[in-house]
Amino acid sequence: MAVIKKVKFIKSAVNPKDYPPPHFPEIAIVGRSNVGKSSLINAIFKRNIAKVSSSPGKTRLINFFLLNDKIYFVDLPGYGYAAVSKAERNKWKKMIETYFHTRENLSLVIMLVDSRHQPTKLDIMMKEWLESLGIPYIVVATKADKLNQSEKAKTKKIIRETLGLPKDFPVFLTSSKEGTGIKELVSYILDFVSKD
């Protein structure tokens, strides 16, 4: 099973000229501002490297990490956060858009949804956008510790139906708090990138 042995923060960037050189395959993580992205990143890395905040929308730059000295992992700003100005939201949107359009070494996007709620219109738009750009992606549902067993069974079905995903499409149910699904997710993404 593939594991993360080493994690290094490389840099934060806004514009493509500031991105690290595209020497390695890249995995990006994206999701709504309150979906628990930083907590999941810390669970994946097994260390507190991403800032977790009680107020959403703290990731305002594109943050690049290096895993095992051979894979870039990119934390993108959260989308759809209402408590910042429209100008700020547009700036984040432009940042994500530019990144998706220009990053030639992008291998996989981890798209986060909240397991407690049906995917939103913004989640559907993100999924459609990734498909229109031909970017491979998987869906990861966060905060599964808030669900009981019967809700967990239904959640993947609801996610697949709402996003229009085939039955065999990778949907992971995770909990950063309890560690649920983290090993399987890490193993999947590292294997996926090594095949690329």
Question: Averaged in consecutive runs of 10 residues, what is the pLDDT profile of the chain (196 residues)?
Answer: 89 94 96 89 88 54 94 89 66 86 96 95 93 96 94 93 95 95 96 84
What one-character DSSP code corresponds to residue 20? P
What's the pLDDT score for residue 55? 47
Structure confidence at residue 196 (pLDDT) = 61
Q: How are strands ordered across the β-sheet holding 106-114?
A: 7-13, 62-67, 71-75, 26-31, 106-114, 137-142, 171-173
Compute the 3-state secondary structure of the chain and give helix, strand, coil in percent, each to the nearest 5. Answer: 40, 20, 40
Q: Please give the pLDDT value at position 89.
A: 66
CA-CA distance, 94 to 89, in Å (whole number)? 9
State the maximum Cα–Cα separation within the chain, in Å, rounded to a whole number: 48
Give the amino acid at 8: K
Domains in the chain (CATH in brackets) are: 7-195 (3.40.50.300)
Which tokens hold the place of 145? Answer: 């510790």
Tokens 């594991």 — which residue? 3
Contact 20, 105 (CB under 8 A): no
Residue 77 confidence (pLDDT):
86
Structure tokens belonging to residue 50: 């991403």
Find out whether 192 and 108 touch, Cβ atoms under 8 Å: yes
DSSP-derived 3-state class of residue 11:
strand
pLDDT value of position 49: 76
In the chain, the DSSP E strands lie at: 7-13, 26-31, 62-67, 71-75, 106-114, 137-142, 171-173
